[in-house]
Amino acid sequence: MTIEHSELMTALSSLNCRTNFTIKKITEYMLPELKEPIYLHGADKDCQLVIRPAYEVFLADLSELKGVKHKEGYFHNNEMTRFPKRVQKSLNGIHYGLAFKFSDKEAVKRFINRLITIING
């Protein structure tokens, strides 16, 4: 079972992640104390967090956390404007990142804390 959209939003707020905007099914968050964007995509029971593709080198580390599941491949969306683009089907490219699903709020907390640790070195 995966966490619902509202629960994920509550978990991010409790971790002091701040929202910048919501467009369609994408909400941009900034990690606490950092200028590092993450994106929440989806609604209801179908939601996921998306991080920069640069963190792909830490994929095994993040995926081994209890309750965290990486979705295969890259997630693409034009609204993730702080992420790099890659050419897939369009000539101009589309923003992309690594998507993760979570079983509960504790898994979200473990994931965000590990990500902050990775960023801070």
Q: For residues 48 and 75, is the Cβ–Cβ distance under 8 A? A: yes
**Model pTM score:** 0.94
Closest among 86, 84, 104, 98 to 49, alpha carbons compared: 98
- CATH code, domain with 102: 3.90.1150.40
Q: What is the mean pLDDT of residues 13-30?
A: 95
Q: How confident is the model over 53-78, as pLDDT tens digits?
A: 999 999 999 999 999 999 999 999 99
Query: Which amino acid is it at 50?
Result: V
Kindly indicate the confidence band of residue 32, based on its pLDDT and cuts at 50, 70 and 90: very high
Residue 88 confidence class, pLDDT cut points 50, 70, 90: confident
Which domain covers residue 56, as residue numbers?
5-120
**Percent of the chain clearing pLDDT 90 (strictly above):** 88
40 touches 26 (CB < 8 A): yes
How many folded domains does the chain comprise? 1
Q: How far is CA 100 from CA 56, 72, 77, 89, 92, in A?
A: 12, 9, 15, 23, 26
